[in-house]
Structures are given as structure tokens and as C-alpha cells.
Structure 1
Amino acid sequence: MSAVLLLDAGNTRLKWALVSGSQWLAEGIADYATLDTFQAHLANLPAPTRILGSNVAGTTVAASIAALFPQHQLEWLQSKPTETGLHNQYREPSQLGSDRWAAMIGARSSSTGDLLVVMAGTAMTVDAVIAEGDFLGGIITPGFRLMRESLAHGTADLGLPEGTTAAFPQSTGEAIVNGALAALAGAIAGQYALLTQRTGRTVRIVLSGGDAPLITSKLTPALAEQLMPIDNLVLRGLNCLAQLDPTQETQ
């Protein structure tokens, strides 16, 4: 049984999955400071014949991961003008983050209509993909944690108080938590409105990432009806690419 190791090297941690075709053999999350533990865990699993990944964490992280697999040539994804029927409308396609590209490929494997692909992690990205296969463009905004930290660093007294979700916050902690979530939900709502105006069709919201449940709590009922939560969207996109016929050319 040949296995492929998929890697999603994000800003704060590494997500991984070991797959064989459409079968997921194992998956997990590793801290960059304890990559040796990640390697030890893999020792108990089938050895991968190929390693395919997305890296937005920089060259130092890439080198640290590569050092774990000296017998392999790691394949780091680069965004392309066209791949798997998805057309990249970025002015410079290669400048699009590989995680966003993989996420859109993964989203289209689950739904072929008009999509708003939302990745809610350290940063939140909201990308518009239409049924014809065009990635129109998208936005990037600080994620939930970064929004809270920006207030803590930019003010004298606010700090990082905790708070629960509430319609009308009644403490500083609640005000900060709900303000950040409202801003993220508002960014999604704004792009959703623009995309529906552009196509005149129903738009599904594919939502993934660690802060997805928190953001969901702030979406309007109308938006929540169009929600399609999918875990590990980047890894799913990478798996779609791993299953391509290697003899096929992509532009």
C-alpha cells in the first residue's frame, strides 16, 4: 500500500495527514518546537512514498521539516495559473498563498457551485470561486487571536480579558471577544454580498480552520443556511492533487 504524507505548514503549527488514495490512515497536529515528536509518531505508521505540502511558515520551518525526511524530496505546492480546472485570477498567480490555493481545490472537490472559501486561522482569508472554475480574488484579515492581541498591544488598559459570546456584551472581555468575531463575520458577509451580486446565484460558504466554530456563532441565520463546514481543507486539497495522474500537465 503506497502512502502519501500531506503537510499543511501554517503560521503557528503543522497539520498533517497520511493517506492512501481516498483513505485517510492517520492525521494530527504538531508544534514546530516539537517536530521530533511528530517524527516519532510517524514511525509507527506506513512509510510514505511521497510527501506533498503547503508551506506559509517560511524557509526556516521548511528546512526543519525537510531535515526529518532526508530520504525524500519534499514537494512544496506553488500556486499556478490553472490547476484541476481552477483558474487563478491573481495578477501574479504565483504570489497567491499555497494554503489558499489548496483550500480552494479542496472546497471544489466537495461542491461545484459558487463558493466563498473561508479559512479561519491566524489570519482569515475569504476567497471567491465561481462555478465556472474562476478564482475571482479574495481578502485577508487578522484572525480572532490577532485582533485581540492588537487591542492588547495598542492600548494601555485592555489587555487580553476572556469573554463569552453575547448579543450585547456587558464586560470588557465580552466586548473584545464579540467585537472581533463580529468583524470577522462582517468580512464574510460583505464578500458574500459581493459574490451573490456578481453571479446572481446561490453561494455556499465553505468554512474551515480553528476559529470556525466561534465565527459561525456570529453569522446571520441567512448566511448560516449556506454554511458548509469542512475540516482540514488544505490537506483535502493537497490530497486531490496527490491523486492526479503524474503524467498530466498543469499550467
Structure 2
Amino acid sequence: MSGATLLLDIGNSSAKWMYVDAAGVRNQGRVDTHTMVAELGESLAGATVLVSSVAAPDIQEALHAELAALSKSVWFARSLASLDGLLNSYEDPTRMGVDRWLAMLAARQRVSGRVCVVDAGSALTIDLLTADGRHEGGYIIPGTALMERSLFADTGRVRDSAPENTSVAPGRSTAEAVSHGLMLAQAGAVRMAMSLAEAQGERPQLLLCGGGSAQLAEVLDLAYDPVPNLVFEGLLRQAELEVPGLVDYPQVSSVLFAKSD
């Protein structure tokens, strides 16, 4: 993949990756975080690597060294106090998860008004932005897998097979009651956040991203825009602004990701 740009969104257990160049997205996928470098292997050679990572600092340091040994260059995004009209609400901006920061940075490019960014992953994060780019604050809630593990951790009971359907209807078995209840909690949190935000002013435009967003969307009776690559969009945008010339082709983010108002 010489000459391409590799985007990495690294979580605690898995990492999403995407290769882009001037023509657009060349390839993408998901790998285990612990085997990521080995699995990407020779395709790192000659690539510029842009990284969003919520891993611990020591893990990031080791990862940086591994990637730098194989690629053309490596750049890690970080949460800032402000950038491109986005104003961080945290007293210590570095304490904000960089994935949340990048998703909001990208949301600013897509939406000119007030916006609610929901990322359904290992955790469900909900962040609100004013029309002028000020972060109003947000919520962090365990995702469905974390909720499920917590629910069954101390019961000593073998769980029945989870139903294949996604629903918030009352469950008629323990497995259904748990599965549907988890989705009810996730959807309910988003609905309440949107309701509280609307009570304070302009109704936000809802953007959904993250690995669990499609499942959440099935039970969420709210208008929304699916933006599965929002973190990658923000990653490209921040790299273009902070390190001009790092990406081989100018303004690639505006080419790859069309604005939606």
C-alpha cells in the first residue's frame, strides 16, 4: 500500500482500520488490537499512519515504535482545547477520549447547526455540540456487552442463547428479557439525552457511529444520520490541520466524506 494513508481507530479490544488515497477508500476492516501490527504486516510499508487510540500511554508508546519501524511515518491524534471551531468543555482537554473528540470534529464539518453525536461501541457515548462549536457536555454509558457481562458476572447461572432479533419488546424468556432490556437501556438513554437537549433549545441533529450503531438504529425511533466513519473523518481533518503535508494529497477528507446537512 505504498503511498496510501492508513487510518487506525484503536479501542481496548479491537481496532478499525481504513486505507485511503486520492481516489478514495481502498480497503477497510477490523482486527484484534493485540495482533493488529502482525495482521496488517507488509501493507504498512510506505504508508502514512494516522492513529486514534484510547489505549493506555505505555501501550501507545510501544505501538508507536512498532508502527514507526514498518511505515513511512506515524502520527497520533490527541484531544485539544480547541481546533477548527470546536471548543472542548473539559478543564483538562487531554482527559477527553480522543475518539469522542475526533467524532465531534468531524460532526462540525457535516452539520452547521446543533448536533448530538452518538458512538455505540464498547461504551455508548453521547456528546452535544452547539451550532457555534461549543461542547455542551456528554454522557458515557456501558455498551450492551459490558452491561451483559456485569449482569451475569455474579449470578453463577448459565445464560440461555441470546435471541438473534433486535427488539425492545417485553421479553418472554430470560434471554429475551436481557437482550431486549439492554437495547431498551441504550435507546432510552439516547432518547432522554435528545429530549433534555431539546428542552434547552434547538433540537440537535443526531449522528450515529460505532460498531453497535446499526443495531441501535433498529430500535431507535428518532431521525438520525448514519456516519460509520466519523472518527476516521475527524482523524483526517485534524491531521490536515495540525501537520500540513502529512497526508500526500490535500484535503482528502473533503473528497472522501461528503457533508450532510
How far is 1:69 from its partner? 2.9
Identity of aligned residues (%): 34
User: For residue 49 of structure 2, what is the aligned residue in structure 1?
Assistant: 51
Which of 162-171 and 189-198 deviates more?
A: 162-171
| CA–CA separation in structure 2 for the residues paired with 1:215 and 1:247 | 37
Asked whether the equivalents of residues 151 and 158 of structure 1 are also in contact (C-alpha less than 8 Å), the reply is: no
User: For residue 179 of structure 2, what is the aligned residue in structure 1?
Assistant: 177
User: For residue 67 of structure 1, what is the aligned residue in structure 2?
Assistant: 66
Matched, 1:148 2:148: yes
User: For residue 210 of structure 2, what is the aligned residue in structure 1?
Assistant: 209
Long gaps (5+) in structure 2: 246-261
How far is 1:3 from its partner? 3.3
User: For residue 8 of structure 1, what is the aligned residue in structure 2?
Assistant: 9
Aligned residues: 239
| CA–CA separation in structure 1 for the residues paired with 2:214 and 2:65 | 33
User: For residue 194 of structure 2, what is the aligned residue in structure 1?
Assistant: 192
Asked whether the equivalents of residues 160 and 174 of structure 2 are also in contact (C-alpha less than 8 Å), the reply is: no
Secondary structure of the residue aligned to 2:214 is helix
How far is 1:66 from its partner? 3.4
User: For residue 242 of structure 1, what is the aligned residue in structure 2?
Assistant: 239
How do 1:153-164 and structure 2 match up within 5 A? Answer: 153-157=153-157, 159=159, 161-163=161-163, 164=165
Matched residue type, 1:75: W
| CA–CA separation in structure 1 for the residues paired with 2:16 and 2:59 | 13
User: For residue 168 of structure 1, what is the aligned residue in structure 2?
Assistant: 170
Matched residue type, 2:49: I
Q: Deviations over 1:171-201 (max 9, x none)?
A: 11110011111111111111111211222x2
Q: Deviations over 1:84-121 (max 9, x none)?
A: 11011112211100010011112222222211101101
Asked whether the equivalents of residues 119 and 126 of structure 1 are also in contact (C-alpha less than 8 Å), the reply is: yes
How do 1:15-94 and structure 2 match up within 5 A? Answer: 15-20=16-21, 23-35=24-36, 36-42=38-44, 47-48=46-47, 50-62=48-60, 63-64=62-63, 66-70=65-69, 72=72, 74-94=74-94
Asked whether the equivalents of residues 152 and 160 of structure 1 are also in contact (C-alpha less than 8 Å), the reply is: no
How do 1:101-116 and structure 2 match up within 5 A? Answer: 101-116=101-116
Secondary structure of the residue aligned to 2:103 is helix
Secondary structure of the residue aligned to 1:132 is coil
TM-score, normalised with respect to structure 2: 0.83
| CA–CA separation in structure 2 for the residues paired with 1:123 and 1:88 | 20
| CA–CA separation in structure 1 for the residues paired with 2:185 and 2:64 | 35
How far is 1:247 from its partner? 5.9
How far is 1:28 from its partner? 2.0
Asked whether the equivalents of residues 151 and 159 of structure 1 are also in contact (C-alpha less than 8 Å), the reply is: no
Matched, 1:120 2:120: yes
Q: C-alpha root-mean-square deviation of aligned residues, in Å?
A: 2.3
| CA–CA separation in structure 2 for the residues paired with 1:160 and 1:88 | 44
TM-score, normalised with respect to structure 1: 0.86
| CA–CA separation in structure 2 for the residues paired with 1:246 and 1:33 | 28
Q: Deviations over 1:156-182 (max 9, x none)?
A: 336363023341211111100111111
| CA–CA separation in structure 2 for the residues paired with 1:150 and 1:159 | 13
| CA–CA separation in structure 2 for the residues paired with 1:126 and 1:239 | 22
Long gaps (5+) in structure 1: none
